[in-house]
Amino acid sequence: MTQSHSQQQLIENHTVDYVPLAERHGKARDLFTLWFSTNIAPLPIVTGAMVVQVFHLNLFWGLIAIALGHMIGGLVIALASAQGPKMGIPQMVQSRGQFGRYGALLIVFFAAIIYVGFFISNIVLAGESIHGIVPAVPLPAGIVIGALSATAIGVIGYRFIHSLNRIGTWVMGSALLAGFLYIFSHDLPVDFFTRGAFNLSGFLATVSLGIIWQISFSPYVSDYSRYLPNDIGIAKPFFATYAGACLGTILSFSFGAVAVLATPEGTEAMAAVKQATGGFGPFLMVLFLLNIISHNALNLYGAVLSIVTSIQTFAGNWTPSIKVRVVLSALVLAGCCLMALSASANFISHFIGLILALLLVLVPWASINLIDFYLIRRGEYDIASIFKADGGIYGRFNMHAIVAYFIGIVVQLPFANTSLYVGPWANLVDGVDLSWLVGLAVTCPLYWCLATRSKSVQAQVAYAK
């Protein structure tokens, strides 16, 4: 197949519109490199260190819990990713087929907050890293440099993001393996294998953390698979995404746990990485900085797509140009930089707390999305209706999905254990947030019952076929 003119363009020219079959390109393995490289970064390493520092597991049980959590949660991100080639549209736009044209706006709003929150957190982290590597660069300047670099990647778009992560897979994967080799080839503390012990609450908390980590990617995972050929099927994108996301996060979480065990108890996670890797540490820090910037481009890209989706909801015939996407990226960049520059010292921890709280709204959405796509409509949607001003066969609001969604949020609240809200039953298992499990257990069967009993949904499925 010859490449079309749009494929050869440096800057991506599609936003929330359907990617025509003639412009599809790429291989399923691109999804492996994207999600593997994305997760070799400081944030998952710091999170992995919590397994030892907060949940007090030893190395053996910590590694089992890390692997189990990500392998379960990875099923969600992989199933969502496999929708992209079939649909050819971003994940949030696809939600119109489940919630209706206007009903999907609430999900888009929450997704935009998550994107912006992670973008700001990462440019602060990038600024701190630049200042730490080159002290002559002031922290505010480092924040701006990190933001501009991520924005440049996000503006260029889909193809460049995939290309960077193909390179990043080899570079970051090799660097992390070298870090493991360095640690295990030097003397380890006497309590390296015995510090901590099995405890049920710590084990379940680690498993839950892995599951939640993977679910957090689900609102935008198919944005990066929608250009793949339509005939690629479900299995290849599923397994490529699953393997990349699980392997990358398991390695990073494990590296964080190993690094803090290789240093005196109480050492801060990234300081432990520097200390445990000796002379290799500064080089590793530079690579982590580059990966923060590359990964943050995904957050900007997703934020802009969410904004475009919101505008396009009220302007059905509007298809934004490259110039509009560049302008929106610049506006998001400016706003996020202002917030980051005025942020307090503990901004990142507070914002991550907000993001984790917002996962309460993602679990029921992911449940409805997967049940609708795989069990009810079996991948058959009318793309033209998704872009019609009146919602076409999906209407402006789909009350079955909206009711199931809000009930799915409400039933989680008594079990929620976040920095913003702690429910009355939050400590059924001490220190473990099991709200996601309740959300899945209620939303999936509820939506199935409401949707399959609806004659309108059955008619929509028949129409789409």
CA distance 464 to 457: 10
pLDDT digits (tens, 9 = 90+) for 86-121: 999 988 889 999 999 999 998 888 888 888 888 888
* Closest C-alpha to 13, from 227, 328, 325: 325
CA distance 329 to 261: 41
95 φ, ψ (degrees, to nearest 5): -60, -20
Per-residue confidence (pLDDT) for residue 311, from 0 to 100: 84
Asked whether residue 277 carries a pLDDT value surpassing 70, the answer given is: yes
Question: Which of the residue ranges 142-146, 198-202, 393-397 would you say has the lowest mean pLDDT?
Answer: 142-146
Scanning 342-453, the segments in alpha helix (DSSP H) are 347-370, 383-386, 399-410, 435-452
CA distance 381 to 226: 15
Contact 159, 19 (CB under 8 A): no
Q: Please state, rounded to an integer, the average pLDDT across all residues of the chain.
A: 86
3-state helix, strand, coil in the chain (%, to 5): 70, 0, 30
CA distance 144 to 157: 20
Asked whether residue 402 carries a pLDDT value surpassing 50, the answer given is: yes
DSSP 78-117: HHHHTTHHHH-S-HHHHTHHHH-TTTTHHHHHHHHHHHHH
Count of alpha carbons within 13 angstroms of residue 388, beta-carbon side: 13
Put residue 431 in one of left, alpha, beta given phi > 0 → left and psi -120 to 50 → alpha. left
Cα separations in angstroms, 411 against 92, 124, 371, 434:
24, 35, 19, 11
More confident residue, 156 or 226: 226
Identity at 131, one-letter amino acid code: H
Per-residue confidence (pLDDT) for residue 3, from 0 to 100: 42
Asked whether residue 371 carries a pLDDT value surpassing 50, the answer given is: yes
* CATH number for domain 20-464, candidates 3.40.720.10, 1.10.4160.10, 3.10.129.10, 1.10.510.10: 1.10.4160.10
Look up residue 56 and give its two tokens.
């007090």
Query: The tokens 């930089």 sit on which residue?
Result: 337
Per-residue confidence (pLDDT) for residue 124, from 0 to 100: 84
| Percent of the chain topping pLDDT 90 | 39
Count of alpha carbons within 13 angstroms of residue 322, beta-carbon side: 10
* Closest C-alpha to 149, from 303, 351, 295, 313: 295
Per-residue confidence (pLDDT) for residue 32, from 0 to 100: 94
Look up residue 242 and give its two tokens.
């699953």
Instruction: Please state the rounded mean pLDDT for residues 301-314.
Output: 83
Per-residue confidence (pLDDT) for residue 102, from 0 to 100: 93
DSSP label at 135? T
CA 409 to chain CA centroid, Å, is 20
CA distance 41 to 172: 9
Asked whether residue 80 carries a pLDDT value surpassing 80, the answer given is: yes
Here the contacts of 141-147 (C-beta below 8 Å, separation 24 or greater) are 143/337, 143/340, 143/341, 144/337, 144/341, 146/122, 146/289, 146/292, 146/293, 146/296, 147/123, 147/333, 147/336, 147/337, 147/340
Helix orientation angle between 235-261 and 42-53, rounded to the nearest 10 degrees? 60
Identity at 379, one-letter amino acid code: G
DSSP helix/strand/coil, 15: coil
Per-residue confidence (pLDDT) for residue 12, from 0 to 100: 61
pLDDT band at 407 (very low <50, low <70, confident <90, very high): very high
Asked whether residue 202 carries a pLDDT value surpassing 80, the answer given is: yes
More confident residue, 14 or 249: 249
DSSP label at 69? H
Q: Whole-model pTM? A: 0.88
Look up residue 237 and give its two tokens.
């994108």
pLDDT digits (tens, 9 = 90+) for 143-193: 888 888 888 877 776 677 777 778 888 888 899 999 999 999 999 999 999
Per-residue confidence (pLDDT) for residue 351, from 0 to 100: 64
Instruction: Please state the rounded mean pLDDT for residues 26-32.
Output: 90
Burial class (CB within 10 angstroms; exposed 0-12, middle 13-18, buried 19+) of 163: middle
Asked whether residue 246 carries a pLDDT value surpassing 90, the answer given is: yes
DSSP helix/strand/coil, 417: strand
Asked whether residue 9 carries a pLDDT value surpassing 60, the answer given is: no
Per-residue confidence (pLDDT) for residue 348, from 0 to 100: 61
pLDDT band at 4 (very low <50, low <70, confident <90, very high): very low
Q: Counting every residue, how long is the chain? A: 465
Question: Which of the residue ranges 129-138, 147-156, 194-203, 206-215 would you say has the lowest mean pLDDT?
Answer: 147-156
CA distance 145 to 123: 9
Instruction: Please state the rounded mean pLDDT for residues 242-262.
Output: 96
pLDDT digits (tens, 9 = 90+) for 444-463: 999 999 998 876 666 676 67
* Closest C-alpha to 40, from 175, 183, 206: 175
Per-residue confidence (pLDDT) for residue 59, from 0 to 100: 95
CA dihedral 307, 100, 362, 27 (to 10 degrees): -70
Asked whether residue 220 carries a pLDDT value surpassing 80, the answer given is: yes
